[in-house]
Structure 1
Amino acid sequence: MKVSKDFKFYYSRDIPIKYKIKLCTLEGKRNKENAPETVDKWIEKKYLKYSSLYRDTTIDLYITCTLYSDGKQLSTSEHTSYNPFSVSNKWDETIIFPLKHQDLPFDTMIVITIWDIYSPMKKVPIGGTSFNIFGMNKIERKGKHKLLIWQDREGDGEKETTTPGQIQGKDEQYRLEKLKKKYDRKLINHCQWLDKFSLNEIERLSRASESLNKNQIYLTIELPEFELPILFKQQNCPLYIPLSQTQKKSLVLINDIEMDEHPSEQKYHRLNLYDHKDLKPNSTELKGLTDILKQPPNTKVTSKEALLIWRFRYYLTNNKKALTKFLRCVEWSESHQKNEALSIMPKWDPIDIADSLELLSSAFTHKNTIMVRRYAVEILKKADDEELLYYLLQLVQATKYEQFDGNPSDSPLISFLFERSNKNFILGSHFYWYLTVDSVLKSSIFCSHYKTLQELYFRQLDHTDAQRVNAQNKFISRLSLLSVELKAMNITREKKIEKLRIMLAEGEYKDLSDFQPIRLPVNPDIEIIGIVPEKSNIYKSAKSPLGLKLRTTKGEEYGVIFKTGDDLRQDQLIIQLISLMDRLLKKENLDLKLTPYKVLATAEEDGIVEMVNPSEAMASVLSKYDGDILKFFKTHNPDADSPYGIAPEVMDTFVKSCAGYCVITYILGIGDRHLDNLLLTPNGKLFHIDFGYILGKDPKILPPPMKLCKEMVLGMGGENSKHYEKFKQLCCEAYNILRKSSHLILNLFALMVDASIPSISDDKEKSILKVQEKLQLELTDQEASNSLLQLLNDSVTALFPVIIEMAHKWLQYWKA
Structure 2
Amino acid sequence: MPPRPSSGELWGIHLMPPRIFVDCLLPNGMILTLECLREATLITIKHELFKEARKHPLHHLLQEETSYIFVSVTQEAEREEFYDETRRLCDLRLFQPFLKVIEPVGNREEKILNREIGFAIGMPVCEFDLVKDPEVQDFRRNILNVCKDAVDLRDAGGPHSRALYHCPLAWGNVNLFDYTHTLVSGKMALNLWPVPHGLEDLLNPIGVTVTHLLGRHNHINMTIQNVLLQSNRLARDNVLMDSDLEQLRLVCNRDPLSEITEQEKDFLWRHRHYCVNIPEILPKILLAVKWNSRDEVAQMYYLLKEWPAIKPEQAMELLDCNYPDPMIRDFAVRCLEKYLTDDKLSQYLIQLVQVLKYEQYLDNPLVRFLLKKALTNQRIGHFFFWHLKSEMHNKTVSQRFGLLLESYCRACGMYLKHLSRQVEAMEKLINLTDILKQEKKDETQKSIILFFPIFPFLRLEECRIMSSAKRPLWLNWENPDIMSELLFQNNEMIFKNGDDLRQDMLTLQIIRIMESIWQNQGLDLRMLPYGCLSIGDCVGLIEVVRNSHTIMQIQCKGGLKGALQFNSHTLHQWLKDKNKGEMYDLAIDLFTRSCAGYCVATFILGIGDRHNSNIMVKDDGQLFHIDFGHFLDHKKKKFGYKRERVPFVLTQDFLIVISKGSQECTKTREFERFQEMCYKAYLAIRQHANLFINLFSMMLGSGMPELQSFDDIAYIRKTLALDKTEQEALDYFMKQMNDAHHGGWTTKMDWIFHTIRQHALN
Global fold match (TM > 0.5): yes
Residue in structure 1 matching 2:400, options 446, 449, 463: 449
**Deviation at residue 596 of structure 1 after TM alignment:** 0.4
**Deviation at residue 280 of structure 1 after TM alignment:** 4.8
User: What residue ranges of structure 1 are gaps of 5+ in the alignment?
Assistant: 1-42, 44-118, 123-276, 514-529
Confirm whether residue 744 of structure 1 aligns to residue 691 of structure 2. Answer: yes
**Deviation at residue 729 of structure 1 after TM alignment:** 0.6
Could you list the structure 1 runs, at least 4 aligned residues long, displaced by more than 4 angstroms after superposition. Answer: 119-122, 277-281
- Deviations 1:336-383, CA, capped at 9 Å, x for gaps: 222222222243343111110111111121xxx322212211221222
Residues 1:701 and 1:725: Cα distance change in structure 2 (over 3 Å): same
- Deviations 1:686-737, CA, capped at 9 Å, x for gaps: 1011111110011143521122222111221222222221111111111111
- Contact 1:550 1:559 (C-alpha < 8 Å) held by counterparts: yes
- Deviations 1:604-645, CA, capped at 9 Å, x for gaps: 111100000110000111221344211111111111xx6xxx
**Deviation at residue 287 of structure 1 after TM alignment:** 4.3
| TM-score of the pair, normalised by structure 2 | 0.63
What are the within-5 Å matches in structure 2 for residues 505-516 of structure 1? 508-513=451-456
Residues 1:680 and 1:702: Cα distance change in structure 2 (over 3 Å): closer
Q: Distance in 2 between matches of 1:766 and 1:380?
A: 28
- Contact 2:257 2:714 (C-alpha < 8 Å) held by counterparts: no
Q: Distance in 1 between matches of 2:691 and 2:390?
A: 24
Query: For residue 802 of structure 1, what is the aligned residue in structure 2?
Result: 748
- Contact 1:594 1:661 (C-alpha < 8 Å) held by counterparts: yes
Give the SS at the match of 1:760.
coil
- Contact 1:550 1:560 (C-alpha < 8 Å) held by counterparts: no
- Deviations 1:164-220, CA, capped at 9 Å, x for gaps: xxxxxxxxxxxxxxxxxxxxxxxxxxxxxxxxxxxxxxxxxxxxxxxxxxxxxxxxx
Residue in structure 2 matching 1:487, options 422, 434, 437: 437
- Deviations 1:63-96, CA, capped at 9 Å, x for gaps: xxxxxxxxxxxxxxxxxxxxxxxxxxxxxxxxxx
Q: Distance in 2 between matches of 1:590 and 1:396?
A: 31
Amino acid at match of 1:658: C
- Contact 2:320 2:355 (C-alpha < 8 Å) held by counterparts: yes
Confirm whether residue 547 of structure 1 aligns to residue 474 of structure 2. Answer: yes
Residue in structure 1 matching 2:548, options 610, 615, 626: 615
Q: Distance in 2 between matches of 1:559 and 1:372?
A: 44
Residues 1:447 and 1:772: Cα distance change in structure 2 (over 3 Å): farther
User: What residue ranges of structure 2 are gaps of 5+ in the alignment?
Assistant: 1-77, 79-132, 137-235, 637-641, 660-664
Confirm whether residue 770 of structure 1 aligns to residue 712 of structure 2. Answer: no
Query: For residue 415 of structure 1, what is the aligned residue in structure 2?
Result: 368
Residue in structure 2 matching 1:583, options 500, 516, 524: 516
Confirm whether residue 756 of structure 1 aligns to residue 703 of structure 2. Answer: yes
Residue in structure 1 matching 2:385, options 429, 432, 436: 432
Confirm whether residue 813 of structure 1 aligns to residue 738 of structure 2. Answer: no
Amino acid at match of 2:612: L
Confirm whether residue 478 of structure 1 aligns to residue 428 of structure 2. Answer: yes
Query: For residue 293 of structure 1, what is the aligned residue in structure 2?
Result: 252
- Deviations 1:570-617, CA, capped at 9 Å, x for gaps: 111111111111112112221211110000111111110000011000
Residue in structure 2 matching 1:316, options 267, 275, 283: 275
Residues 1:591 and 1:279: Cα distance change in structure 2 (over 3 Å): closer
- Contact 2:572 2:653 (C-alpha < 8 Å) held by counterparts: no
Give the SS at the match of 2:646.
coil
Q: Aligned residue pairs: how many? A: 507
Q: Distance in 2 between matches of 1:802 and 1:482?
A: 38
Residue in structure 2 matching 1:307, options 266, 280, 283: 266
Give the SS at the match of 1:647.
helix
| TM-score of the pair, normalised by structure 1 | 0.59
Amino acid at match of 1:559: E
Q: Which has the higher contact order (CA 8 A, sep 6+)?
A: 2
What are the within-5 Å matches in structure 2 for residues 312-391 of structure 1? 312-365=271-324, 369-381=325-337, 382-391=339-348
- Contact 1:319 1:349 (C-alpha < 8 Å) held by counterparts: no
What are the within-5 Å matches in structure 2 for residues 625-664 of structure 1? 625=558, 626=562, 627=567, 628-639=570-581, 647-664=584-601
Query: For residue 468 of structure 1, what is the aligned residue in structure 2?
Result: 418
- Deviations 1:33-61, CA, capped at 9 Å, x for gaps: xxxxxxxxxx9xxxxxxxxxxxxxxxxxx
- Contact 1:622 1:629 (C-alpha < 8 Å) held by counterparts: yes
**Deviation at residue 459 of structure 1 after TM alignment:** 2.7
Amino acid at match of 1:704: V
What are the within-5 Å matches in structure 2 for residues 681-696 of structure 1? 681-696=618-633
Confirm whether residue 401 of structure 1 aligns to residue 358 of structure 2. Answer: yes
Residues 1:534 and 1:759: Cα distance change in structure 2 (over 3 Å): same
Greater radius of gyration (CA): 1
Residue range with higher mean Cα deviation, 584-593 or 292-301:
292-301
Residues 1:120 and 1:433: Cα distance change in structure 2 (over 3 Å): farther
Amino acid at match of 1:322: I
- Contact 2:504 2:628 (C-alpha < 8 Å) held by counterparts: yes
Q: Distance in 2 between matches of 1:730 and 1:691?
A: 23
CA RMSD after TM alignment: 2.5
**Deviation at residue 564 of structure 1 after TM alignment:** 0.9
- Contact 1:482 1:509 (C-alpha < 8 Å) held by counterparts: no
- Contact 1:279 1:315 (C-alpha < 8 Å) held by counterparts: no
Q: Distance in 2 between matches of 1:294 and 1:120?
A: 44
Q: Distance in 1 between matches of 2:675 and 2:322?
A: 39
Amino acid at match of 1:674: H
Give the SS at the match of 1:754.
helix
